[in-house]
Amino acid sequence: MISFSNSRPSARFQRLFFTCLAVLCIAATDLVGQRTLQSGSAALAGVETGLTGYIQPITNICYIIAALVAIVGGVQVYSKMTSGDPGAGKTAASWFGGAVFLILIPTIITSLFGVTMN
């Protein structure tokens, strides 16, 4: 007569089963990865050409926003200086820093990604 009191598989069998399952998963992943590698490379090349086309308009937008920040900051600093506010220097430094940041961002992005401007 068959006894089912100890129906759990042994630890050795479990290790062997899960090791084989892991090897099969890795092999399947490798096969799928080889097939999709070429299509992934082509997709990344298409994205690169698409993104490099946006660098010049984004640079122009950053320069426009920097000009607006400089104008608004200049007006705000002028109004604080004429009213005698002691924090005018700190306000001027923060607005100037924001404008310089907006001017430097496009330069840094183009130098990091090696994009030449037209």
pLDDT of res. 55: 80
pLDDT of res. 30: 65
Q: Which residue has the tokens 């069998």?
A: 13
For residue 116, give every residue at least 6 positions away whose Cβ sits within 8 Å of its Cβ, in sequence order, or none: 110
Say what angle helices 55-83 and 88-113 make with each other, to 10 degrees: 170
Give the C-alpha separation, 62 to 58, whole Å. 6
With b for 16 or more beta-carbon neighbours within 10 A and e for fewer, the 2-30 pattern comes to eeeeeeeeeeeeeeeeeeeeeeeeeeeee
Q: Which residue has the tokens 């299509």?
A: 39
**pTM, two decimal places:** 0.57
DSSP helix, strand, coil percent of the chain (3-state; round to 5): 80, 0, 20
pLDDT of res. 68: 92
72-115 confidence digits (pLDDT tens): 999 999 999 999 988 889 999 999 999 899 889 888 888 887 77
50-70 confidence digits (pLDDT tens): 777 788 888 889 899 999 999
Mean pLDDT over 19-32 rounds to 73
